[in-house]
Amino acid sequence: MKKRCLSFVLLFILLLTATAANAGERWRLVSHAMPGTSQFHLSEIFCNTVEELSGGELIIEPFAAGVLFPVFDSFDNVANGVIEISMVYGAYWNGKDSLFNLTTRPGCPIGTYAEAAYLDEALAPITEKLYAKYGIKYLGHVQESPINEQLMSVVPINSIDDIKGKKIRTAGIGAQFYRALGATTVSLSAPEIYTAFQTKNVDAAEWTYWDDNLRMGFNEVALYVLDPALHNGTNENLPLTVNPAKWEALPQRLKDIVLAARDRTRYYSALIYVEEIKAREAWKANKNITFVQWSPEDVKKAREIGLKLVIEEGEKSQDGKEYVRIYRDVLWELGYKEEAQLLGYEAK
């Protein structure tokens, strides 16, 4: 009898152990992207890859914007361990530290994914240091944005002077950029933008790119599109950040899997721009929308204003100065010599 009881106990323990192993470590990932958008699909690819490569040892569930809590609470919730991991645009955190403003680079001349990734790899040590200052581990970029965002509006903005007096939804240094052009700005999360257009509580808004904006239905309420807008430049659109304690608790094999999933997601993020090209054509096929391009003179002036703002932000801290130095060195190296010199580059 004792042997039989002991056998049952051992079997019960083995079953519990197997169940725990199968359950795996469970994390939650929050995104600033809306459900059904290409950006949110990237978080799904990332999570599915982690689960597949780990054999279920690490399971990460993705949550879209506003599902768990407001997007702008994401920073503190990662730092405090309320959630474990996130893909949320870094410019949202300029209220924490002005250096986050440089996540957005108004006036940036870079126009390819490879160049953008090269620049953000060069800037990674400063970005990692910045997040660490606030208790967050930075794991690098997931998505770069070589395509300039649209500026969608319910009123025509045919020139740089037409910006004056307009109320624009934007974020980060983009807000400073449009204020420098004479606009007023507001901060709205993605779910609020459609209604703001409908009610004309904003004259214009940027959020993201052609495909996602189409999926959000903004083509139904925005009558005009400025293409390209110049407030953001090429930048890191989806950084991967994680709670440091949760990260350090992972065995190295799972850390390696997370980074491998990040790199696989980068590959798919590059393919997204094929969908962007298709979506841009869908926007242009809409006869109710007017497309606007500024004159070369207005574009040049806007770029110069944007680059001046980058210098001003950089001057606020030693890390900011180092950020600008790396930025201008990379621009010079890649052949964007005029913009590098506007940022203070001096040929050696």
**Dihedral of CA 238/244/247/251: which sign?**
positive
Q: What is the dihedral of CA 315, 340, 206, 169, to 10 degrees?
A: 20
pLDDT (tens digit per residue) in 134-150:
999 999 999 987 677 78
Which residue type occupies 3? Answer: K
pLDDT digits (tens, 9 = 90+) for 56-104: 999 999 999 999 999 999 999 999 999 999 999 998 898 999 999 998 8
User: What pLDDT, in 10s, does the model give residues 243-295?
Assistant: 999 999 999 999 999 999 999 999 999 888 888 888 889 999 999 999 999 99
| Interatomic CA distance for residues 283 and 79, integer angstroms | 39
Q: What is the four-CA torsion angle of 60, 64, 65, 67, rounded to 10 degrees? A: -90
Residue 187 and residue 171 in contact, taking contact as beta carbons nearer than 8 Å: yes
Q: Report the SS3 class of residue 99.
A: helix
**Sheet (strand 290-292) strand order:** 184-186, 167-169, 204-205, 151-153, 224-226, 290-292
pLDDT at 104: 84
User: For all residues of the chain together, what is the average pLDDT?
Assistant: 89
CA–CA dist 205, 188 (Å, integer):
9
Instruction: List domains and CATH numbers for the chain.
Output: 25-146+234-280 (3.40.190.170), 151-233+286-342 (3.40.190.170)
